[in-house]
Amino acid sequence: MTSALLEVEDLSIEFATEAGPLRAVEQVSFRLEAGRTLGLVGESGCGKSVTSLALMGLLPGNGRIVTGRILFEGTDLATLDQAALRRLRGRRLSMIFQEPMTALNPVYRAGDQIVEVLRRHEGLSRRAALDRAIEMLARVGIAAPEQRMVDFPHQMSGGMRQRIMIAMALVCRPRLLIADEPTTALDVTTQAQVLAEISQLAAELDTAVLLITHDLGVVAETCDEVMVMYAGQVVEQAPVGALFAQPRHRYTEGLLASIPRIRKQPLERLPVIPGTVPELSAMPTGCRFAARCPQAQADCRARTPELRMLGRSRSACFHPAGEE
Amino acid sequence: MSAPLLRVEGLTRHFRVGGGLFHRGRLLRAVEQVSFELEAGQAFGLVGESGCGKSTLGRTLLRLIEPTAGRVQLDGVDITALDAAGLKRARKHMQMIFQDPYASLSPRRTVEQILREPLDLHRIGATDTRSRRVSELLDIVGLRASDRRRYPHEFSGGQRQRIGIARALAVEPKLIVADEAVSALDVSVQSQVLNLLADLKREFGIALVFISHDLAVVQHVCDQVGVMYLGQLVETAPVDRLFCHPAHPYTRALMASIPEPDPARARPEAALSGELPSPLAPPPGCPFHPRCRVAVPKCAERVPRTIELGPTGPTPHRVRCHLHDVERSNHEQALSET
C-alpha cells in the first residue's frame, strides 16, 4: 500500500472549559492521497473545522490533541512545535477560510501579502516575488492583476478577496490545501467560478485538497471522496459517486434528502431530520444519531457502532440504508 | 376578483452616497420601480445576488426604510401615505423575521418576555389572557410551553429562529417579510423551518415576502418569484412557471450556478462570468448586458421594457429583456426594411 500524503489516525481533540473538558472530535481517521480532493461535510458543531485547525496546528489556546497522529509527508504534525509548523504552513500545506476579509491584513496591499509569503518561504528577491504574485493572480482568474496588486482588501468584492486568498495559499505550490467553507460567504454565481478555479489550479499544481463544507452540492461537484461527520465522529466515508448513489449511514441519508433542490415537481413537504444535534456536554451512549434516527433500535442506544466496509463505503451504522 | 392583500406599485428607493457640504454625492438606485401583487396565504420569493437591493426592498415594504417613490397597499391601506401614528397602528399588521436570530432576540429576556412585548405594545387581548397566548404561540411554532422561562442562548439556532417566528406571529400580522430567515441554519434544521413557514402562511392567510439568495429554498416556500438585479425586478412569475420556463438570461444563469448534489451530472461551465457591477455606476441599457451571454447590440443601448409572457393564470409572467420583446423587434425590422 502506498503511503498517503496525509494520514490522520485516531485523532481526538478536547477543549478545556469551565464545565470541564469537552471532546469536540472523537477518534477521527482518514487518508488523503496526493492530488486528490476529499470533502469533509457536516453541520455546525460536528467537528469539521476543529479537525482542520488541528491539522494546521491552529487550535485555539484551550484546545488540545488528546490522542492520535497527523502524518503529513511522513512527519507527525501533532508533535511539531510552532516554529517547525510555521516553516510548513504556507509552503507545504496552506489553508483558506470562509471569510477572506478577516484572513487578509486590512492595512497591507493585496500584492504585498502574496509577496511576503514568497519572500519568506522561497527567499525570492522582491522583483521575482512580484512577478510570481502577478502571474498567480492571473491564474486565479483576476483581470488586470497588476492593478489589483496595489489594491487594499476593502477595495475588493468578496469573490475577489477569496481569489487573493487562493493565490496566496497556492503560490508556493503546497502539497495540501485545506479549504474551510471557502465559498459559503459568496453568491452562487461567484461560488461556481471560485470552485472551478480551486479545482483547476489544484489539478495543475498536483495539490491535494481537503474541502470542508456544509453543502453536499459543492461536494458532488468538486470532490473525489467524501467523509461525513456527526457530533464529533466520522459516520461515513466513501467515494463521491458511491455516497450519492447509496448513502449508508442514516444521517447521510437524511441529510441528502433534506437538501432543498430545484425539482420539476416540487415536494409538498421537505423531508426533515427531526430534533437537533446533541450537546457536546451531553453526548448519549451508543450511536450519537440514534435519538433523531427513524431506524434506531435498542442496539443503537446500547453500543457505539464502528466504521465498517459496506460496498465501496465505510459507515458506522448498525442498520445501514440499502441493506433491507 | 378581490383586491390582492399586498399591492406594490413602482416602489423606488434611492440613496445619496458620498455627498458632502459642496457636492450632492452620487445617486444609488437601490430599488427601482418595483411592482407586484400578493394574495393572502401566498408567498412571494425575492431572489438575487448580494447587493441587488432585495433586503432594501423588504425593509421599504414595511417602511423601515422610507421609499423615495411608489406605493405599498396592504389590505386596502396605503402604507406609504400613513403618518407616524397611523404607521405605528399598521405595524401590527406587518412583521419581519431576520436572518440572525442571535442578533435579533434580546439575550437578557426570557422567551415569555420576548413574545409578550408585542402583545403589550399593541394592547392585544386582555392582560390575563396574554400569558395563554404565549403558550399558544410556542405550540404553533413547535416549542414546548415550558420553554417560556428560558433565555435565547439556551436554544439552538433553529429553535431561536422559531422564537423569532413566534414573535412575528404574536400580533396576528397580515404581512410578514422574512429576510434570509433560514440562511444561517444547517440543512437538516433549515427544512424544518421552511415547512413551518409554508404551513403558517396557509393556515393564517399571511402574505409572506420571502427574501433569499437560494433559489431552491424559494421553490419550496413560494407561490411567486421575483428575480432582482441591480435594484430592478428583471423577472416575476408563478413559481412552477419560473422553474420550468425561466425567461431572463440572468434567471437561467442563477439556476445553472446552483451546485447539484449529483456527481453524475457533468460539471457545468461557470454559468456567469464577472461580478455584479457597482450600483453607483450601473451599465447603460439593460443592466445585465455586460455579463449576458446572449446580449445583442441594442441591450447596451436601450433599457428593456417589461414584457408579459403567455397566459399564466392570475399571476403574470413578466420579464425585462429585449430578447423577449418580439413585438418591438418586429416593429424595428419593419422600420429598417422600409
pLDDT of B338 > 60? The answer is no
| Phi (first) and psi of residue A296, to 5 degrees | -65, 140
Q: In the numeric block, which cell numbers belong to residue B32?
A: 427601482
Nearest to B189 among A189, A195, A276 (CB): A276
Residue A221 near chain B (CB below 8 Å): yes
Spatial neighbors of A284 by CB under 8 A, at least 6 apart, are A278, A290, A291, A301
Contact B265 A220 (CB under 8 A): yes
Residue A144 near chain B (CB below 8 Å): no
- Cα Rg of chain A, angstroms: 21
Contact between B172 and B125 under an 8 Å Cβ cutoff? The reply is: no
Nearest to A261 among B158, B261, B272 (CB): B261
- Rounded alpha-carbon distances, angstroms, from residue A68 to A30, A64, B75: 11, 11, 64
Residue A240 near chain B (CB below 8 Å): yes
Contact B260 A241 (CB under 8 A): no
Of A289, A314, A301, A211, which Cα lies nearest the Cα of A46?
A289
Contact between A166 and A172 under an 8 Å Cβ cutoff? The reply is: no
Contacts of A189 in chain B (CB under 8 A): 49, 253-254, 257, 270-272
CATH 3.50.50.60 at B6-93+171-258+277-337, yes or no: no
| A54-113 per-position pLDDT tens digit | 999 999 999 999 999 999 999 999 999 999 999 999 999 999 998 888 889 999 999 999
pLDDT of A1 > 60? The answer is no
**More confident of the two residues B39 and B280:** B39
Smallest CA–CA separation between A123 and chain B, in Å? 35
How far apart, in whole angstroms, are the C-alpha atoms of residue B233 and residue B47?
9
| Phi (first) and psi of residue B210, to 5 degrees | -110, 105
How far apart, in whole angstroms, are the C-alpha atoms of residue A47 and residue A26?
9
Strands B6-17 and B26-38: what pairing? Answer: antiparallel
| A100-155 per-position pLDDT tens digit | 888 899 999 999 999 999 999 999 999 999 999 999 999 988 888 999 999 999 99
Run of H or E residues at B57: helix B54-61
Amino acid at the residue B257: S
Three-class secondary structure of residue A249 per DSSP:
coil
How far apart, in whole angstroms, are the C-alpha atoms of residue B120 and residue B113?
10
Strands A63-72 and A308-310: what pairing? Answer: unpaired
| B49-94 per-position pLDDT tens digit | 888 999 999 999 999 999 999 999 999 999 999 999 999 999 999 9
Query: Please, what sign has the CA dihedral across residues B236, B241, B246, B250?
Result: positive
Q: What is the pTM of this model?
A: 0.87
Amino acid at the residue B254: L
Q: What torsion, rounded to 10 degrees, do the Cα atoms A7, A12, A14, A19 define? A: 160
How far apart, in whole angstroms, are the C-alpha atoms of residue B73 and residue A243?
50
CA angle at A139 for the pair A138 and A144, rounded to the nearest 5°: 15
How far apart, in whole angstroms, are the C-alpha atoms of residue A87 and residue A120?
9
